[in-house]
A and B are shown apart, each in its own frame.
Chain A
């Protein structure tokens, strides 16, 4: 089955700096890679996703890159703000998994003012 690893587990950056979180997956058949943000005491919410037919996707300060050959994908947050502080989860899924998302263990991002 699919296995998703995520690094780092914790990340602290100064406000205004960039943050990068990396995930690797094991199943080359996976073709959908969402990223979820979970603020303290709140539910996970999708912030961006990418499918295997593209290598990069951007939405304002957030971007995701995908390297299918190496089986890794990354979340990039630029010009970080205190409200970006949260736990970020990557996930992988594919047609062969139906609705079965395999989540990474999460990265706790702290943006220091």
Chain B
């Protein structure tokens, strides 16, 4: 295992639901990331947290809300999602910038 875990692994939610994705890293890294991976698009960076501070928000809709309470945990809060938000959501961590990013197994999200 890479030391980055994600829960849940699969999630089905309706458009009016509120849910949260959780990511935890046990590698002592100081940066964490959320990516979206769709079938026909490259990995899309959504958010970056560096030392718990958000340093990047790639024009992500407000229905996605990240939270980083400490350097080991990262959440993605979801509300009023759209069917096109169905995708694999990957969390990653790294030690500083321009370094290897360790990915979690992902959460397969289906919005109905």
Chain A interface (Cβ within 8 Å of chain B)? 4, 31-32, 34, 42-46, 49, 51, 89, 93-95, 97-106
Report the minimal beta-carbon distance from B86 to chain A, rounded to whole angstroms.
17
A-B contact pairs, 7 of them (CB 8 A): A32-B98, A44-B43, A89-B42, A89-B43, A97-B97, A99-B31, A99-B33
Mask for B45-80, Cβ within 8 A of A = 1, else 0?
A: 100101000011010000000000000000000000
Query: What is the CB-to-nearest-CB distance from A53 to chain B, in angstroms, rounded to a whole number?
Result: 12
Chain B 85-112 interface residues, beta-carbon cutoff 8 Å to A: 90, 94, 96-98, 100-101, 103-106
Residues of B within 8 A of A105 (CB): 41-42
A43 touches B90 (CB 8 A): yes
- Among A31, A42, A45, A103, which residue has its beta carbon within 8 angstroms of that of B42? A103
